[in-house]
Structure 1
Amino acid sequence: MVDATALTGTIRSTRGGLEINGNNVPLTDVAVILLGNKATISGGAMTMLAKYDIILLNCDWRGVPDLVAYPWIDNSRVAARHRYQAELSQPRRKNAWQQIVRSKIEGQENNLTAASLPAAQRLRVIRKSVRSGDPDNREGQAARAYWQVYFGEDSQFQRVPGSADRLNAMLNYGYTIMRGFVIQAISASGLWPTYGIWHRNRSNSFALADDLIEPFRPAVDFIVQNLDTDASLEIPTVKKQLVSVLSMPMNGLGGSTVATSIYELAAQLAYYIENDRDRLEPAVWVPPQDSPRLE
């Protein structure tokens, strides 16, 4: 990732990479670029981003992403997959959403277990009762039980998307960076981000990203929970820690990283909507063992 939110000057294209304030950055090493109010980017650089399938996130004055640009792809199966997405049957939508919700709750449960919080047992019961399509909103029930205790039973924390308080701001930032990777994975798999599995708001151009990100949110939660108590987005190293979650192993032991698991889920979905898979099997987040607090 390239973070240009604190830079002044122009990002230009160069052979095989970008030139940022005189420094060359090879595009083969970049997946997402954060662009801030103090930086500009040339049209040639934008073309290079499209060529290398790189997501661009524009950030506001706080450094929080507020706009995403992603490349079109040349894939002969794209039109067919878009059609399959639009025609995906309701039973298969519901089954896919059930698996996504179960994976998300299990990741939250694993976070609580790692923090030695007894509420993990409550989430385990909720997870096992998730039905096809989650008509009972077990996802919401699990979220309430989870957020009540994850940052401490006396913290009085309330998860409010878009809120600017310290903890919510860090969660929002981490989720937004992760959402950029999900959008990139969706594009790379020849899927259309507007056609969601469960999120269907007509004003949401990335409804599918909001579906597929769910199993990976607990990874961001873990990073925030393990930061110092005075951590905030005002500290540059905190942003780096939030971005680093994408390179962490998804299962806590090794193997596929969070970023790789995101791509794997998007690829699974592409085969699922074409009836080449019977069900989705999203990866489940497992925190690394004996993790020290992050500075």
Structure 2
Amino acid sequence: MRSRQVIDVLDYQGQITAARGGLVIRDQRVPLEDVAVLLVGNHASISGGALSMLAKYDVTLLNCDWRGVPNFVGNPWGSNSRIATRHRAQADLSLPRQKSSWQALVRAKILGQAFNLEQVGSSAATRLRLLASKVRSGDPDNLEGQAARLYWTEFFEDEQFRRVPGAEDHCNAMLNYGYAVLRGFVIRGICEAGLSPTLGLWHRNRSNPFCLADDLIEPFRPAVDATVHRLLPLDGLEDRSVKHELVNVTNLPMQGTGETVLTGIYTLAQDLALFVEGEKVRLSVPDWQTPFASEDG
């Protein structure tokens, strides 16, 4: 898979227009051949031609609010030749197969969290690995929730910390930002695989058009967590370098194999497509295993 870059123009105030093979931003031509995502803020205007160019090169548009947190994602209509077949297969996926895939996702997430705890020297990592081994089909015992409570208490070594989605304190704000960017890539991977992001495996919400993305993002969250842990001494999202590092999470190695978080996302989406069509017996899910020291290099 070729390198996929992120173009970050959150601070740009002006018009974004189309150019041959790319866009014009700040009076400069930006080629789109190797671009995966365009990040824009509240003060940029995008022409219809620019949107068409993004669609032509299969680039995802992430619009961000005044805090720089993504609040809108625009994906080109996919050209996957099996899209109709895969949507029908998703809708018809049996409950036991939905549950077994959720089991695999939860197990991989907990293993990634356990790895992070090992990196900070927490003995609770052993307990998380034990929980991961006990996850049953559909996770009826909510071991995901049990693992999360232990993980967040131990990981930042702060008994007062509480993981609250949407909260604006220093640590939660960085997690929210990192997860939001990551979710955009997951949605893109789902669409490229010819799947419907609305039809989830475990998540169910009639007002959520991205239930499947909220399923598939789970094993990749520990990569964001590890990056936030490393960045905590900095000034949060006010520091532009922090946003850059959080966007760059997708380029981190997922495991010792050299596969990045981004390729892991795309591979998982493609594997799920084969799984729902019955071409794979079980879903293969990667888990985060990259030592913190490797993130700088």
Find the aligned partners of 2:235 and 2:131 in 1 and give their Cα distance: 32
**1:79 pairs with one of 68, 76, 84:** 84
Find the aligned partners of 2:232 and 2:178 in 1 and give their Cα distance: 16
Q: Which residue of 2 aligns with 1:167?
A: 171
8 Å Cα contact 1:171-1:221 kept in structure 2: yes
Find the aligned partners of 2:291 and 2:46 in 1 and give their Cα distance: 38
Q: Which residue of 2 aligns with 1:290?
A: 293
Question: Offset of 1:230 from its aligned partner?
Answer: 3.5
Are residues 1:268 and 2:271 paired? yes
**2:191 pairs with one of 187, 193, 196:** 187
Question: Offset of 1:293 from its aligned partner?
Answer: 7.8
**2:68 pairs with one of 43, 63, 66:** 63
Are residues 1:49 and 2:46 paired? no
User: For residue 209 of structure 1, what is the amino acid of its counterpart?
Assistant: A
Question: Offset of 1:257 from its aligned partner?
Answer: 0.5
- What per-residue deviation string (whole Å, max 9, x for no partner) do you get for residues 167-203 of structure 1? 1110010011110100110010000010001111111
Which residues in structure 2 correspond to 1:29-40 (within 5 Å)? 29-40=34-45
Question: Offset of 1:204 from its aligned partner?
Answer: 0.5
User: For residue 33 of structure 2, what is the amino acid of its counterpart?
Assistant: T
Find the aligned partners of 1:149 and 1:133 in 2 and give their Cα distance: 26
Q: Which residue of 2 aligns with 1:242?
A: 246
Bigger Cα displacement from structure 2, 100-109 vs 278-287: 278-287
8 Å Cα contact 1:112-1:119 kept in structure 2: yes
Are residues 1:5 and 2:15 paired? no
User: For residue 211 of structure 1, what is the amino acid of its counterpart?
Assistant: D
Percent identity among equivalent residues?
Answer: 56
Are residues 1:107 and 2:122 paired? no
Q: How many residues align?
A: 292
| 1:32 alignment partner, SS class | strand
- What per-residue deviation string (whole Å, max 9, x for no partner) do you get for residues 59-89 of structure 1? 1111111111111112331111000000000
Q: Which residue of 2 aligns with 1:198?
A: 202
Are residues 1:280 and 2:286 paired? no
User: For residue 188 of structure 1, what is the amino acid of its counterpart?
Assistant: E
Find the aligned partners of 1:289 and 1:99 in 2 and give their Cα distance: 24
Question: Offset of 1:101 from its aligned partner?
Answer: 0.3
User: For residue 162 of structure 2, what is the amino acid of its counterpart?
Assistant: Q
Which residues in structure 2 correspond to 1:219-238 (within 5 Å)? 219-238=223-242
- What per-residue deviation string (whole Å, max 9, x for no partner) do you get for residues 97-126 of structure 1? 000000000000000001111110110111
Instruction: Name the TM-score, length of structure 1 as normaliser.
Output: 0.96
Question: 5+ unaligned residues in a row in structure 1: which ranges?
Answer: none
Are residues 1:24 and 2:29 paired? yes
Q: Cα 1:292–1:96, aligned 2, differ >3 Å: closer, same or farther?
A: closer
Find the aligned partners of 2:80 and 2:128 in 1 and give their Cα distance: 41
Find the aligned partners of 2:296 and 2:87 in 1 and give their Cα distance: 44
Q: Cα 1:254–1:92, aligned 2, differ >3 Å: closer, same or farther?
A: closer
User: For residue 48 of structure 1, what is the amino acid of its counterpart?
Assistant: M
Q: What's the RMSD between the two structures over aligned residues?
A: 1.4
Instruction: Name the TM-score, length of structure 2 as normaliser.
Output: 0.95
